[in-house]
Amino acid sequence: MFVNITGNVSLGVVTGTVEVLKGTSTLVNAAPGGLVYKNTNIWIGTLGMAVPKNIKEALIKFRVDNSWMSANSVAAKDIVLMKWDGSSWINLETKVLSKDDTNTYLEGKTNSFSPFAITAKLAAAKPTATITPPIGTPTPAGTAPAPVEESSIMTWIIGLIVLVIIGAGVYFLVVKKNE
């Protein structure tokens, strides 16, 4: 929507260009992480002008379509503005400003300009528990037996080893005592 720059130096009239891209910028060698909403290139001034030493603060205000968020099960708090730093994507400080019936409005903070991506952090897959019945438990007719997980097998093996050690200990105690 707009870029608001507060400079450390006065440079007069400065031009800016925002390109909304169909895909990842050709100026980067890796796609950003997460679910990508939009890719952009933002260029301010001439080469070497829009660098951290000349910029006190730069805020990029943007909007994300609520229907896209809903269709992709994305919460506003999961939207992140990312910036290409020359070798990798970095997450920028991003905050939700407001929401209306159509869009959610956000703002990202940067101190330089390059390719950017508006992304949604993907939730980590939640681990699922598998309950495995003890070995030898009958299964209902017409169903396959539950798979035996490696951890269950290891538990049985460790249990057997402990029993052998205890049995050997008892054997030597009884034999030694009877000698």
User: Tell me: the pLDDT tens digits for 1-51?
Assistant: 888 888 887 777 788 888 999 988 999 999 998 999 999 999 887 777 777
pTM above 0.95, yes or no: no
Regarding predicted confidence, which is higher, 110 or 157?
110
What amino acid occupies position 174?
V
The H-assigned helical ranges of the chain are 66-71, 150-178
For 65-108, the pLDDT digits (tens) are 999 999 999 999 999 999 999 899 999 999 999 999 999 999 99
Q: Is the domain of 73 the same as that of 158? A: no
Residue 129 lies in a domain: no
Bridge partners of 109?
A: 59
Averaged over 162-174, what is the pLDDT?
Answer: 65
Structural domain includes residue 134: no
Same domain membership, residue 115 and residue 153: no
Residues 24, 116: Cα–Cα separation, whole Å = 9
pLDDT of residue 125: 46
Q: How many CB atoms lie within 10 A of CB 39?
A: 22
Q: Does residue 116 sit in helix, strand or coil?
A: strand
Residue 46 is predicted with a pLDDT of 77
Cα distances (angstroms) measured from residue 30 to each of 25, 95, 124: 9, 25, 21
Residue 132 within a domain: no
Q: Do 16 and 84 belong together in one domain?
A: yes
Q: Which domain holds residue 178?
A: 149-179
The reply to whether 37 and 100 lie within a common domain is: yes
Number of domains in the chain: 2
| pLDDT confidence bin for 148, thresholds 50/70/90 | very low
55 within domain boundaries: yes
113 plus 168 within the same structural domain: no
Instruction: Give me the phi and psi of 60, to 5 degrees please.
Output: -110, 110
CA 62 to chain centre: 21
